[in-house]
Amino acid sequence: MQGIKSIIFDLGGVLLNIDYQLTKKAFTALGADNFDELYSQFHANALFEDLETGRVNEEAFLERIRPHLRPEVPDHQIIDAWNAMLLDYPLARLQLLQQLRLHYNLYLLSNTNAIHLKEVNNILQRERGIPSLAAFFDKCYYSHEIGCRKPEKEAYQIILDEQRLRPEETLFIDDTLPNIDGARAVGLQTIHLQPPKTVLDIFRPKA
């Protein structure tokens, strides 16, 4: 960590535990027998990318996914299925953020959407009594709010420019290799977090 003054964290898979298979299972129960194919199809026609960059709102998302489910499925069950992948925040990770904030500028950069953001903050409120992830960071950057997503260079550059950070003094931590490559392209220092390691292992004192 020598020379590092600021750290940018990814959210899902780094701070928040997630399990995509739970969303697949939930949508299958609602009638989407081919969810993997459907998910791939919507990625191909940019529905999920548009949701994550704010070009598609919640209502449009529900409208476009509903024809692939049983006709009687209400909106709240579709939302619950979409959120099923979002699990929990291990307490030690939140404590780590509190400790790191004493020594570094901390930022969050997440590819997410308005539906998921509401739920990840709800989880934090239910589990820890903290209303928002903003409590742990100097600023949070969400793809659907800034209009671009990792690994696009613009997503990282927005933080560097707005916060006046030097990339060589800024560490970026993510569990997805393309996002790491995007960060390196703008000069950021990076750590690719791969299971079974967790973010705690990065900052654990070496013997």
Quote the pTM value.
Answer: 0.94
CATH class assigned to 20-83: mainly alpha
Domain limits of the chain? 6-16+90-203, 20-83
C-alpha distances (whole Å) from 1 to each of 147, 149, 202, 205 are 31, 26, 10, 11
How far is the C-alpha of 86 from the C-alpha of 121, rounded, in Å?
A: 11
Same CATH fold assignment for domains 6-16+90-203 and 20-83: no
For each successive 10 residues of the chain (207 residues), what is the average pLDDT? 95 96 94 82 75 94 93 96 97 98 98 97 97 98 97 98 98 97 98 96 83
Q: Which CATH number fits domain 6-16+90-203: 3.40.50.1000, 3.30.70.580, 1.10.10.1100, 3.40.50.300?
A: 3.40.50.1000
